[in-house]
């Protein structure tokens, strides 16, 4: 079964450093997403991406965050200057085209980001 | 704003017991409803989904859920749990007009052999 893969599984960084979290969505999917889950809290939507541009973003997704699809397979989340409160599990998801397919999101295993 | 509530944060059951996990959402329009499961160390996996039609939906591994529109609920059920059902369960809602998921806080299920 096709999977969404995320690398690395755990990223440790110093406060103020830039990090890039990487995701390889399912190959024929058209919609891509990032979510995060702070320890003990709910999974929160960050951003969705379609047709090479952001289609929706939440209040969390401020200027420190950016997303990119640099080639035909990768989908990245960049945090420019990490803060302690960015420590969380970050999930990538993708979904197909079509009215219903786009609503079925497939998730990766997540990247745990620890900001020290 | 849309929100999803899962009433049970941690549930402990013995094997063969019946399971019901509550999920309520707040949104006035048409929604699509999902239950995801996350086994320890693994990614979120889709258990079942509801788009329209029969409000009782069956998913994988013997799980089912019932959409009750009047109660804004989508409770997950399984008649007889197994030790392998130990996992975190997330209810999620997406409005029909968008594709952003709104998740509940999750319910941790521990099944004792």
Q: Token pair for residue A3? A: 């999977």
β-pair partners for A89: A37, A112
Angle B55-A92-A103 (CA atoms, 0-180°, nearest 5)?
Answer: 30
Contacts of B7 (CB under 8 A, 6+ apart): B22, B24
pLDDT digits (tens, 9 = 90+) for A60-105: 999 999 999 988 789 999 999 999 999 999 999 999 877 666 678 8
Q: Would you state the pLDDT for residue A79?
A: 97
Contacts of A62 (CB under 8 A, 6+ apart): none
- Say whether pLDDT at A50 is over 70: yes
DSSP state of A85: G
Q: Token pair for residue B1? A: 């704003």
Residue pair B5/B24 in contact (Cβ under 8 Å)? The answer is yes
Collapsing DSSP to helix, strand or coil, B62 comes out as helix
Identify the closest residue of chain B to A42 by CA–CA distance.
B105
Residues counted in chain B: 113
Q: Which positions 40-99 of B are in contact with A (Cβ < 8 Å)?
A: 41-46, 49, 51, 90, 92, 94, 98-99
Share of chain A above pLDDT 70, in %: 96
Helix (H), strand (E), coil (C) string for chain A: CCCCEEECCEEEECCCCCEEEEEECCCCCCEEEEEEECCCCCEEEEEEEECCEEEEECCCCCCCEEEECCCCCCEEEEECCCCHHHCEEEEEEEECCCCCHHHCCEECCCEEEEEC
- Please provide the average confidence, as pLDDT, over all residues in chain B: 91
Q: Would you state the pLDDT for residue A97?
A: 74
- Please provide the average confidence, as pLDDT, over all residues in chain A: 91
Q: Would you state the pLDDT for residue A101?
A: 64
- For residue A18, the tally of other CB atoms under 10 A from its CB is 11
Mind telling me how many Å the CA of A75 is from chain B's nearest CA? 17
Q: Which of A45, A91, A100 sits opposite B44 (nearest CB)?
A: A91
CB contact under 8 A, A48 and B100: yes
Q: Is the peptide bond before A52 cis (omega within 30 degrees of 0)?
A: no
Which candidate in A41, A46, A105 is best for mutational testing of the B interface (most B CBs within 10 A)?
A105
Question: What confidence category does residue A110 fall into, taking pLDDT thresholds of 50, 70 and 90?
Answer: very high
Q: Which positions 54-113 of A are in contact with B (Cβ < 8 Å)?
A: 55-56, 58, 91, 93, 95, 100, 102-110
Mind telling me how many Å the CA of A44 is from chain B's nearest CA? 7
pLDDT digits (tens, 9 = 90+) for B43-92: 788 999 999 899 999 999 999 999 999 999 999 999 999 999 999 999 99
Q: Taking CB atoms and an 8 Å cutoff, what residues of chain B touch A4? A: 43
Residue pair B58/B48 in contact (Cβ under 8 Å)? The answer is yes
């Amino acid at each position: 079964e096709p999977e969404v893969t995320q690398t690395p599984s755990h990223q440790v960084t110093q406060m103020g450093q830039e990090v890039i979290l990487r995701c390889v969505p399912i190959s024929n999917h058209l919609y891509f997403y990032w979510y995060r889950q702070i320890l003990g809290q709910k999974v929160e939507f960050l951003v969705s991406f379609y047709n090479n541009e952001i289609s929706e973003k939440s209040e969390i997704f401020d200027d420190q965050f950016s997303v990119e699809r640099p080639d035909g397979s990768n989908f990245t989340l960049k945090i420019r200057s990490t803060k302690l409160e960015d420590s969380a599990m970050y999930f990538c998801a993708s979904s197909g085209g079509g009215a219903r397919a786009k609503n079925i999101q497939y998730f990766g295993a997540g990247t745990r980001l620890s900001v020290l | 704003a849309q929100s999803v509530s899962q009433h049970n944060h941690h549930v402990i059951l013995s094997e063969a017991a019946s399971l019901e996990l509550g999920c309520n959402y707040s949104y006035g329009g048409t929604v699509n409803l999902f239950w995801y499961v996350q086994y320890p160390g693994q990614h979120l996996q889709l258990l079942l989904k509801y788009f329209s039609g029969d409000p009782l939906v069956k998913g994988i591994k013997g799980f089912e859920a019932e959409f009750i529109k009047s109660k804004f609920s989508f409770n997950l059920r399984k008649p007889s749990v197994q030790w392998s059902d130990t996992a975190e369960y997330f209810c999620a809602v997406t409005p029909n007009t968008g594709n952003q998921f709104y998740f509940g806080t999750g319910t941790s299920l521990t099944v004792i052999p």
